[in-house]
Amino acid sequence: MGREIYFKMESIERKSLLYKSKVEYADFCLNHVEGCSHGCRYPCYAYMMKKRCGVIKTYEEWCRPKIVSNALKLLDKEIPKYKDKIEYVHLCFSTDPFMYRQKQVGDLSLKIIDKLNANDIRCTVLTKGVFPRELYKRNDFSGNNEYGITLVSLDENFRKAFEPHSANFKDRIDALRYLHKKGLKTWISMEPYPTPNIIRQDLIEILEAVSFVGQIIFGRLNYNVKSSEFKYSKEFYNSLAASVIKFCKKNKISYHVKKGTQS
């Protein structure tokens, strides 16, 4: 595992934090960082949107995250306002809550999760980083949270090309397995799954590596030029979605295939 980065990150203030997500499997969401040092090259949908709106100007700027310094204060104001409407809060869709080697981000994420849990609000958490071990011993309520990693390959060359500054797959999986062994709920976001003209790989091998999790979400790769050149996407994703479903049923794992993946 790599060294943590201790330089002080730039910060911004926001006017609001919690919002109702439009993502099909999500409820409320929050993003307490602007940008993400993982710098995914799928491309990253959040980066594309922020660039389109003029919030971020360059890829390099996106990769230098800025922490939302008033995130905890905003939560104090917003939790009472939304509490009755919230089923759970997802961290995060537009950044990564356990960004690899970014201790400041992880520390704030832990405080946010603790605050939500102290208000009886459960969290779903998704990272391409390494979950800290202390997540398992937070408080009684934290057992309701669900911790997930993104995993679309086991090939480190692929990761270096598409998720260049994320945690390596082994460390990511090991940290998730540790939380699972401690009795916490775990899941996998297998999205955006690449087409075979980008990488040839064995889906079952990837599924086997994380067969301990409670849920798998499977989704196709969008917005990628090379992937769009692949002529048999429809057949490919239909076949893979069927394999994911079969594997999950056999292993008693709940699953969700994202809209537009199967046709």
Task: Identify which of 201, 139, 151 has the alpha carbon closest to the alpha carbon of residue 177.
Answer: 151
Residues 6+ apart with CB under 8 A from 78: 16, 17, 18
Q: Which of 56, 86, 91, 95 binds ligand SF4 (CB under 6 A)?
A: 95
105 binds ligand SF4, rule: CB under 6 A: no
Q: Which is nearer to ligand SF4, 47 or 255 (CB)?
A: 47
Residues 6+ apart with CB under 8 A from 75: 17, 18, 30, 112, 115, 116
Candidates 42-50, 70-78, 197-205, 226-234: pick the segment binding ligand SF4 (CB under 6 A).
42-50
40 binds ligand SF4, rule: CB under 6 A: yes
Considering only residues 8 to 37 of the shown chain, the ones binding ligand SF4 according to CB under 6 A are: 36
Query: In the stretch 106-145, what mask flags binding to ligand SF4 with x, by CB under 6 A?
Result: ----------------------x-----------------
Q: Which is nearer to ligand SF4, 63 or 206 (CB)?
A: 63
Pairing mode of beta strands 185-193, 215-220: parallel
Shortest distance, position 38 Cβ to ligand SF4, whole Å? 4
Total length of the chain? 263
Distance between start and end Cα atoms, the chain:
40
| Cα–Cα dist 41/128, whole Å | 13
Q: Which is nearer to ligand SF4, 102 or 186 (CB)?
A: 102
Neighbours of 95 (CB within 10 A): 27
Rounded to the nearest 10 degrees, what angle do helices 103-118 and 71-82 cross at? 30
Q: Which of 9, 18, 39, 125 binds ligand SF4 (CB under 6 A)?
A: 39
Candidates 3-11, 43-51, 80-88, 209-217: pick the segment binding ligand SF4 (CB under 6 A).
43-51
Q: Which residues bind ligand SF4 (CB under 6 A)?
A: 36, 38-40, 44, 46-47, 95-96, 128
